[in-house]
Amino acid sequence: MTIYFVTNGIHRMGGTERVILQLATILKDVVIIVPGTTLVAFNGYDNLNIKSLNISDFPTSGKFNKLSHRMRYLQALMKNIKLTSKDFVVTFSYDLNILNIILSRKYQCKSIVCEHIEYGYHKGIRNIFRKFFYKQAGVKLVCLTKTDERKFKNDGIDTVVIPNFIYPVESEYKENTNKIIAVGRLEYQKNLKFLVDAFKLSRVYENGWTLEIIGEGSEHRLINETIKLHGLDSYVKIYKFSKDIEKYYRNSSLLCMTSRFEAFPMVLLEGMNYGLPVLVSDFPTGAKEILGPENTQIVSEYNIDSYASHLKTICSNVDLRKMHSDENLALIKNYHPEKIAKLWIELFHDS
């Protein structure tokens, strides 16, 4: 039996890429398939079995370019990967999930498809195709939350919940650095302009607080212009993604997230893993599942005034931050690898 992780590549610093790498380290007989470069975005993953099909990296723009790449990727998979009925193909995104199911029909291999975005993200024709393909016999869907599991099961899809996991680290919370961090792609989903606006409105910078945004993306210019418009050049900085992301977590006093939607955010787990208190928007899935539905680190009203008010409160109260730090270190134990690995091993054994 071989487990094939068919991916878009693992050279970009995203949550899904981190999950793929971590999962490959705890399972045996995993081959990570990439379309182009074999570069790895994160440190600590030097001994993985990575195979490139040498058809170029997945394009980041252009519908025709993306569709063409998918067709070439499917052809390369059929030509270069010798699948048997004992093998598993595991994929982690909508388009690749469809290719996975096509392969399973052709070679009778076992198909595990993973959704790393919340249920309602795919609409219209994409959702119709998703229901049609995911309901095929022998297909097992892995989603990240009980909320999404209920919705997929209502569609008649064989679904199981396995959340993301994270390796524990040793870290001492630094409550007095007065540094806020936000980590993520500078895209519509993460809505980091909202955070800059709330930071300005809270006026916590007048008490020595700064904001560091670590990420890259199409909204970089918009966010940078917002920083300049608010006169926050001395207090808000944007940094490119770094393999040494832990240095930002270790030297901060608060993690902020203002996403419009998430599934099960690795950034939230990472921040909690370093003992950070967090302030997160109430995105449809993820925050309540990880932190608990009544946790006051979740800002229930999605508007700038409310978020700024909560930000001012947590920044002005060191005891509150310490309390949340302790709470988060206790909660993160639910997502240590030994618990999650058992669920994956059971899935492969039972499929």
In terms of domains, do 137 and 46 share one? yes
Average pLDDT over residues 150-162: 97
In terms of domains, do 230 and 137 share one? no
In terms of domains, do 63 and 136 share one? yes
In terms of domains, do 83 and 226 share one? no
In terms of domains, do 189 and 206 share one? yes
Query: Could you tell me where the DSSP H helices lie in the chain?
Result: 15-26, 63-80, 94-107, 124-134, 146-154, 192-202, 220-229, 246-250, 266-273, 287-291, 304-315, 318-331, 337-350
pLDDT at 242 over 90: no
* pLDDT value at residue 169: 93
pLDDT at 61 over 90: no
Q: pLDDT tens for residues 44-57?
A: 898 899 999 999 99
Listed range (222-231, 259-268, 316-325) with the worst mean pLDDT = 259-268
Q: pLDDT tens for residues 121-144?
A: 999 999 999 999 999 999 999 999
**Does any domain span residue 302?**
yes
**Does any domain span residue 279?**
yes
In terms of domains, do 72 and 94 share one? yes
pLDDT at 202 over 90: yes
pLDDT at 243 over 90: no
Average pLDDT over residues 8-13: 92
Q: For residue 32, what pLDDT band results from cuts at 50, 70 and 90?
A: very high
In terms of domains, do 322 and 200 share one? yes
* pLDDT value at residue 29: 87
In terms of domains, do 25 and 113 share one? yes
In terms of residue numbers, what domain contains 229? 179-333
**pTM score of the predicted model:** 0.85
**Does any domain span residue 237?**
yes
Q: For residue 152, what pLDDT band results from cuts at 50, 70 and 90?
A: very high
CATH of the domain at 251: 3.40.50.2000
pLDDT at 306 over 90: yes
Q: What is the mean pLDDT of the chain?
A: 95
In terms of domains, do 157 and 299 share one? no
**Does any domain span residue 172?**
no
In terms of domains, do 155 and 209 share one? no
* pLDDT value at residue 43: 86
Residue-by-residue DSSP string for 169-186: ------TTS-EEEEES-S
Count of domains forming the chain: 2
